[in-house]
Chain A
């Protein structure tokens, strides 16, 4: 009568709810609690269980489960509803209370149900999730990150090993990955080596998104163990390949489209009456963002402004003349729709090399806008670069700065934290790719490769090679705030457009748009994945010129 998969128990929420949701998944992220006695996995969920008590707690949970499944749901739920708990995050005492209540249903509930608070975990967004719903949803999901099964015999882990029957390969896969990362963190390379091979075999047997994610992570871990490096993991080998990959990623998922359309809307709102618009794009790529903006400017009441685009490209891609061609294509497009257009490209090694003079802004006749889609985080790889870049940005006095970044903290100092964050983040991403059944398989594969390269960079690279240094909106807010920028809330137009875009995508019920503190977050299920935000110079009025 034991169920096949790992289960965790959700404590009854403050409102009276019919039954205890015994669903099988929860995020298996590990965060180092300040209090080292507490089990880290459970701490992520807000449950405080001492590592030493894990075995006991597990036993009691099993008992509880048996009692509940043996009983009539009706009779026990009344008891459960009325049971009042202090501090349900202290799992051990909670289970005690539950068991005693169920065994002695006559006891009067004397304690107050305290609001359990799922601690805001740095790295998770400010999503207000209804936890039981989340768990309910996730119980049906392919990716299951479970709790508590450390079944590796040879480990030198100091916490007590709690064996839980977990037949899900996915769960074992995740645990093996995390164990391997831990081993690397602890410089135990022989163990890590063994584990990474195990992960490889497990991943091969696991179909679906989880298997693919695990493969990439295993590859990253292997690189880390064996110190294989390419010259840069963010390899300069084939820049054109990078563009192809990104193009496929653009086509197949809504993330980049969301980024572009919401940023465009923010820009539009800032230039409603400008006679000249100068957009500086920190990452030009294929320029897919700009046709839509030009069209919107073309039909603006009052006629189109003069549109000037300065695109920044990395030095490696500048050789082939493809950038000039791109500019030419954009110019043709602009001519077709009747917008005066000027194009310039700047090739720099790194964004921090930019100087204000390079842009040749004409402040008296144009409104300057800065746009950065997934570019700012790369600058964090060298210390001091971001400050220099932001100083440069301030010097060109943009009316608005649109920033789109991944919503994850992959820039923590501790490798293990980064690893766990990344595992969680990319699992969600890959899962969203999996669900869009209308994808051409080639598109999906290319998108996965594109994301896989990011994974490799996060996991295996270090120092200035590690350019995928994603940070959360809160962190960026801090950085930009201290550099002298104030947030500009994105309007409801952007939100409506984003909602419509996402509802058009197959699998669209998995995507969510949320407005959060003036920025828009696109997420999959309950996990926010990318954030669009807009900023202006502190003290400047939002010049809707």
Chain B
């Protein structure tokens, strides 16, 4: 081969190496907001898996807006912003999802979510919150569990 050729191959190789180095500088873990945006688009099971990847992702996944999106994705029209403060006060969307929305979806997968279904879920969530914190000091054996019916029979011992 001629010298020029060898030099050009060498230069190309250098450039490639440089290019590879530049691409490698981006890491998703450095950009939590983008991570949140991505996680917001996941469905329930995937989101839960994602939350188990590493500590960082677990912490990021606690961002309530991700769960809010998950809870209300199928609801139309979107509930008002005032709901956000109420739900946060009651324990957050993540809790709402695990306590109410996920069992409901498991029981009724084809449910059409509209205002009424949402209202019912929120009512159940309120009941859950209220009785966990305020009722049941005298029900000494077990804490009251009005939402026991939502749990799968296998969990009920």
Contacts and interface: CB of A to CB of B under 8 A. Distances in A.
Interface string B98-127: 000001100110010011110110111111
B150 to A, nearest CB: 6
Interface stretch (A12-20, A220-228, A284-292, A478-486): A284-292
A439 B150 CA distance: 11
Contacts of B136: 247
Interface stretch (B2-10, B27-35, B44-52, B84-92): B84-92
Contact of B138 (A244, A303, A330): A244
A204 interface: no
Given A244-B139, A295-B123, A436 B79 contact: no
Query: In terms of DSSP, what is the predominant structure of the interface of chain A?
Result: helix
B134 A337 contact: no
Nearest to A288: B127
Q: Interface size for chain B: under 10, 10 to 19, 20 to 34, or 35 or more residues?
A: 35 or more
B111 A261 contact: no
Contacts, number: 120
B104 A291 contact: no
B153 A337 contact: no
A395 interface: no
Contacts of A413: none
B131 interface: yes
A438 B138 contact: no
Contacts of B141: 442
A247 B148 CA distance: 13
Interface in A479-521: 493, 496-497, 500-501, 503-506
Contacts of B22: none
Contact of A338 (B86, B114, B127, B139): B86
Among B82, B83, B114, B130, the most chain A Cβ lie within 10 Å of the Cβ of: B130
B156 interface: yes
B108 to A, nearest CB: 6
Contacts of A443: 148
A436 B151 CA distance: 12
Nearest to B100: A504
Contact of A437 (B83, B131, B135, B153): B153
A60 interface: no
B144 A261 contact: no
B156 A438 contact: yes
Nearest to B116: A496
A337 B90 contact: yes
A240 B148 CA distance: 23
A10 B130 CA distance: 50
Q: How large is the interface on A (under 10, 10 to 19, 20 to 34, 35 or more residues)?
A: 35 or more
Nearest to A328: B134
A250 interface: yes
B39 to A, nearest CB: 26
Interface in A449-503: 493, 496-497, 500-501, 503
A169 B133 CA distance: 47
B149 interface: yes
B14 interface: no
A148 B76 CA distance: 57
B146 A251 contact: yes
B74 interface: no
A295 B126 contact: yes
A292 B126 CA distance: 6
A524 B8 CA distance: 85
A295 to B, nearest CB: 5
A296 B148 contact: no
A358 interface: no
- Among B122, B148, B149, the one with the most A-chain Cβ atoms within 10 Å of its Cβ is B149
A299 interface: yes
A508 B80 CA distance: 31
B74 to A, nearest CB: 14
A329 B134 contact: yes
Contacts of B148: 251-252, 438-440, 443
A264 interface: yes
B131 to A, nearest CB: 7
Given A257-B146, A291-B126, A440-B148, A240 B138 contact: yes
Given A497-B116, A504-B149, A506-B149, A286 B108 contact: no
Contact of A299 (B80, B107, B139): B80
A104 B76 CA distance: 65
B144 to A, nearest CB: 6
A332 interface: yes
A504 B123 contact: no
Contact of B151 (A264, A332, A438): A438
A333 B130 contact: yes
B57 interface: no
B153 A247 contact: no
Interface of B: 79-80, 82-83, 85-86, 89-90, 103-104, 107-108, 111, 114-117, 119-120, 122-127, 129-131, 133-136, 138-139, 141-142, 144-146, 148-153, 156
28 contacts: A247-B144, A250-B146, A251-B146, A261-B120, A288-B130, A288-B146, A291-B130, A292-B126, A292-B127, A295-B90, A295-B125, A295-B126, A298-B82, A299-B83, A329-B135, A330-B134, A337-B86, A338-B85, A438-B149, A438-B151, A438-B152, A438-B153, A493-B116, A493-B119, A497-B120, A503-B107, A504-B103, A504-B107
Given A337-B86, A438-B152, A500-B116, 4 more contacts: A252-B149, A330-B134, A440-B142, A497-B123
Nearest 9 pairs between A and B by C-beta? Answer: A292-B123, A329-B134, A291-B130, A496-B116, A291-B126, A336-B89, A497-B120, A295-B126, A292-B126
Interface of A: 240, 244, 247, 250-252, 254, 257, 261, 264-265, 286, 288, 291-292, 294-296, 298-299, 301, 303, 329-330, 332-333, 336-338, 436-440, 442-443, 493, 496-497, 500-501, 503-506
